[in-house]
Structure 1
């Protein structure tokens, strides 16, 4: 077998891209695959406050609020922030307050004097909360069991100030739903694995918790109040470290959420997240960019190798096959662990589709309309 110099260079770069890819697979994500699932505590140590922000969410609140109010936890309150709703949310919450004594409603009115948005609503909810430990979720979410709060409570270690949970999307029909769940899976694998590795960089507001004193000590969202999103990931990015952060991924601690039903809605959601990512710490942006860039290079050089010589396609195909085999030994186990076991059979196809979608989403985020809103 004789390879030309261009073939040697191209295949060497392809192999190097594989090595970088395998670093994240074997030395980061494998940590989560091998991590012991934590036991849910049998007792509640301290009271806590659950915070939910809602804007025109009467349908979701009607369906999911009762699951928050009936958790197996002895002392807690649920603070619902009604952010300028006009769909009957206010009247519904007034009725719920009569039924549940531990429900507290905070109402935000239209006011031209301040810039309203989710971060303002979250801040109002935190100010209204009477307990130190705050657990966050969204109006369109439902806990996987009545043990959710038991698992998301303040850990015994008082040095832990942030707990990162996991929130999968409900299964629906169609390619969009499969792609949304697969993308959510990889996002969760990444932030949970890096947290285990001692470098927490984000969390999701559908299922996370932190101390009230931490929020006010670091001036809440002041550093990024001008960005519509980031009440969850930017706060964690700025305040989490290897000593004050823990993760929870027990099946009973998952919080299920309604996925987007349209491509346009999903693209809009991802655009908000893309804008928040620009505010991450430099080291986090570097490591996350490294993942995407080398994945892009891997597929790019693989395609290029198909057009060089007779042997190059076979060698490149072997490198691709090795990548698929190694990842197929790890990610299906993680898919099952994170409640997406049905996707494991589609792993190689969804992996490529997700890569293509992320490129498309990045293009729209950079060159599309800049204005995005919470609701």
Structure 2
């Protein structure tokens, strides 16, 4: 047991330390003034988002990018509320070039179908996906345009953060989400990218078609972002970049209840077993092992089967390296205030992680009013 504690703790320290180093390796992108020239097709799938659609339409109207250089395609994924009526209402009149279409369901993955449907309708080369419950920054497209002109990108992963008040439940979710963003950025920094977020993801239409879209993973309901990234990295590693740019941070919102949050975590965890990226699988295995180790050695210590020092060692090691990574990430995303809840969140996190992983193996999850098998 002692050897196991040492090996897992060492692997975890090296892994998170590598992400911390990689985070600093990705230089912050500060867009310079350039003549806008990239054309974008923004694809926004939605299902029962009547309450959120007016907000994202307002954000789209406020974008500083020239209106004639982008279009917005809303894809209705069988909404059962008045989302479409509400959308038509807030879009009329509008200076935006907008289209509302129905999702063409072809697979068990509704969001992937919605994106594929949107791309089939789109008229521009660059596609950007986001979610209907997001808030877009004013210089979002300007940042992408400058980055595209500055690099040889064909796929760009953008930053996402939770926008919320700082109570414990919200802060817990913020810190959890920051850890994913930190991992995504850090993995790019060490040239082993495997995480992205469909709320802020851009790629060329030609790349999407070359990769045959979501073929090969369209039996998995979730993962429109991660699995496409895997394909892009495998075929065009030099053309896939992370845009570490504050002006491009897309805001989204945490889940309103613990049940919703855990369902979201199970949905995210369910994708891990389908990873084709060895480093993604390795990361998942090490993180899960470390969190399970904390629970096991704590249980052994309470029952007297293991000395208390074997609990303290991995706890202090994990606390130190986790806080170091979260701190620099919180600084970039301007979310330092949520670090006040770090300690209690740190103690709860192993139980949430292990629970989500187990449920992802043996249970189903609910998402947007539908139930999916893991």
* Shorter-chain TM-score range: 0.7 to 0.9
Map Cα deviations across residues 140-171 of structure 1 (whole Å, 9 max, x no partner). Answer: 0002x311111233523563211111211122
Is 1:274–1:365's contact at 8 Å kept on the other side of the alignment? yes
Equivalence map 1:304-323=2 (5 Å)? 304=300, 307=304, 312-314=307-309, 317=312, 320-323=315-318
State the secondary structure of the residue aligned to 1:223. coil
Q: Does 1:223 align with 2:219?
A: no
Shift of 1:248: 1.9
Q: Does 1:16 align with 2:16?
A: no
**Residue 67 of structure 1 contacts residue 142 of structure 1 at CA under 8 Å; is this kept in 2?**
yes
The offset of 1:85, in angstroms, is 2.8
Call closer, same or farther: CA 1:329–1:204 in 2, change over 3 Å: closer
Q: Which residue of 1 aligns with 2:288?
A: 292
In structure 2, what is the Cα distance between the partners aligned to 1:329 and 1:115? Answer: 40
2:42 corresponds to:
50
Tell me by how many angstroms 1:78 deviates.
Answer: 1.5
Higher alpha-carbon Rg? 1
Query: Secondary structure of the equivalent of 1:236?
Result: helix
Aligned counterpart for 1:334 among listed residues 329, 350, 355? 329
Is 1:344 equivalent to 2:339 in the alignment? Answer: yes
CA distance in 1, matches of 2:317, 2:103: 57
Q: Distance in 2 between matches of 1:343 and 1:96?
A: 34
Residues 167 and 264 from structure 1, CA distance in 2 versus in 1: closer, same or farther, beyond 3 angstroms? same
Distance, in Å, in 2 between the alignment partners of 1:160 and 1:19 is: 35
Unaligned stretches of 5+ in structure 1? 1-9
Q: Cα distance, 1:122 vs. partner?
A: 1.0
Task: Say if 2:46 and 2:132, in contact at 8 Å, map to a contact too.
Answer: yes
Q: Report whether the alignment pairs 1:281 with 2:272.
A: no
Distance (Å, rounded) in 2 between the aligned partners of 1:305 and 1:97: 61
Moved more, 50-59 or 300-309: 300-309
Alignment of 1:1-375 (within 5 A): 10-33=1-24, 35-43=26-34, 44-74=36-66, 75-108=69-102, 117-143=110-136, 145-153=137-145, 155-156=148-149, 159-172=152-165, 174-241=167-234, 242-283=237-278, 284-298=280-294, 300-301=296-297, 304=300, 307=304, 312-314=307-309, 317=312, 320-369=315-364
Deviation at 1:50, TM superposition (A): 1.2
**Gap change, CA 1:45 and 1:198, over 3 Å in 2:** farther
Superimposed CA distance per residue, residues 174-194 of structure 1 (whole angstroms, 9 cap, x where no aligned partner): 443222212111111112211
Shift of 1:72: 1.2
- Determine the C-alpha separation between the residues in 2 that align with 1:326 and 1:274: 22
TM superposition shift of 1:340? 2.4
Displacement of 1:109 in angstroms is: 6.8
For the residue of structure 2 that corresponds to 1:198, the secondary structure is coil
Would the alpha carbon gap of residues 301 and 205 (structure 1) be closer, same or farther in structure 2, given more than 3 Å must change? same
1: CA distance between counterparts of 2:107 and 2:331?
A: 45
Counterpart Cα distance in 2 of 1:305 and 1:324: 19
- Measure how far apart 1:127 and its partner are: 1.4
Whether contact under 8 Å (1:270, 1:361) holds in the other structure is yes
- Kindly indicate whether the alpha-carbon contact (under 8 Å) linking 2:109 and 2:222 is maintained by their aligned counterparts in 1: no
Instruction: Quickly say closer, same or farther: Cα 1:282–1:234, change in 2 above 3 A.
Output: closer
SS of 2:160's equivalent in the other structure is coil
How big is the alpha-carbon RMSD for the aligned residues of Structure 1 and Structure 2? 2.7
Q: Secondary structure at the match of 1:209?
A: strand
Q: Distance in 2 between matches of 1:176 and 1:162?
A: 34
Q: Report if aligned partners of 2:295, 2:350 keep a CA contact under 8 Å in 1.
A: no
Q: TM-score, normalised by structure 1?
A: 0.86
Report if the CA contact (8 A) 2:75-2:102 is conserved.
yes
Range moving further from structure 2, 278-287 or 214-223: 278-287
Unaligned runs of 5+ in 2: none
**How far apart, in 2, do the equivalents of 1:357 and 1:315 lie?**
22
Distance of aligned partners of 1:351 and 1:372 in 2 relative to their CA distance in 1, 3 Å threshold: same
